[in-house]
Amino acid sequence: MEQRRMDYHLHTYHSMDGRQSVDDLCRTMAARGVEEICLTEHIEPGHPDDNADIPPVWPVYMEEIRQAREKYPRLTIRAGVEIGDNPLLRPQIKKDLAALDLDFHLLSLHLVNGVDPYYSDLYFGGKTRDQAYREYAEAKAESILDWEDFDSVAHIGYAAKFSIYTGPERALIYDDAPDVFDEILRHIIRLGKCLEVNTSGYASTGDTFAHSTIIKRYIELGGENFTFGSDSHAVDRNYADIERAKDMVRALGGKYQASFDRRKMTLWRI
């Protein structure tokens, strides 16, 4: 089994908050010696911010990826989606996804009971730290436990990215909701899916999303499969800290890094 340089969480202009073209992305990744990338553009059905709820124009997205594959033959380029789950619209989201022919479904959650923690005053206001973090964990569990048809679970601990807490209180760790995280992790393991290691956490919490304590528990419970993603929205962060995160997961005993071709998983050594 070989190792592979891959980044499985990436945004371009096809996401409302992307600040790079597909060509910018592929050119910089090829220059950084990356072998495989997967674009994971946002869908955010029912997000209260109208600017967030703008899905890619799928035929245009697929055509640009097709062109990039021709231009960068040595870079494997996958077409994926970051599913911004919303319990109120979930049946429709599942139906819409089934109609798309994508390589990778990254199950994500940005809305916690209708509020995106991105709006930190709104989300954290009037709650203790424990309440805010537990509410996030429970919403994430509610989301994941209602899905089976996904490939990897994105950035567990997302709420901490915009936390009003600082220092050691900022990161959302396993001990903040151990019972809830166990449910989440057991569900992922039972289905043979992947846990994402998202390196955008380093800048905000000094650790990954999911936090290393949650990754450690996943491995303890028998979890073996991971995807790694920078969650980059601009050229400066493409493949940022992926090797650092792989070193960390390897040291914890993590085994496999997954890639996906039309939803079919291939495992690589981390």
Q: Mask 97-136, x = binds Zn ion (CB under 5 A)?
A: -----------x----------------------------
Nearest in space to 136 (alpha carbons), one of 119, 155, 113, 120 = 113
Question: Which of 135, 219 has the CB closer to Zn ion?
Answer: 135
Contact string 222-241 vs Zn ion (x = CB under 5 A): ---------x----------
Binding residues with Zn ion: total (CB under 5 A)? 3
Q: Closer to Zn ion at the Cβ: 176 or 231? A: 231
Report the nearest approach of Zn ion to the CB of residue 9 (Å).
6
196 binds Zn ion (CB under 5 A): no
Q: How far apart are CA 21 and CA 1, in angstroms?
A: 33
Smallest distance from Zn ion to CB 209, Å: 9
Closest residue by Cα to residue 32 from 209, 270, 236, 197: 236
Cβ at position 220, least distance to Zn ion in Å = 26
Which amino acid, 234? Answer: A
86 and 47 Cβ atoms separated by less than 8 Å? yes
Nearest approach in angstroms of CB 222 to Zn ion is 26
x/- track of binding to Zn ion for residues 61-90 (CB under 5 A): ---------------------x--------
Residue 120 to residue 62: CA distance in whole angstroms: 35
Q: Using CA atoms, how far apart are residues 41 and 191, in angstroms rounded to an integer?
A: 24
What angle (nearest 5°) sits at the alpha carbon of residue 232, between those of residues 154 and 164?
Answer: 70
Helices 212-220, 242-251: crossing angle, 10 deg rounding: 40
Output 15 or 257, the one with its CB closest to Zn ion.
Answer: 15
For residue 235 the two structure tokens come to 């050229």
Name the site residues for Zn ion (rule: CB under 5 A).
82, 108, 231
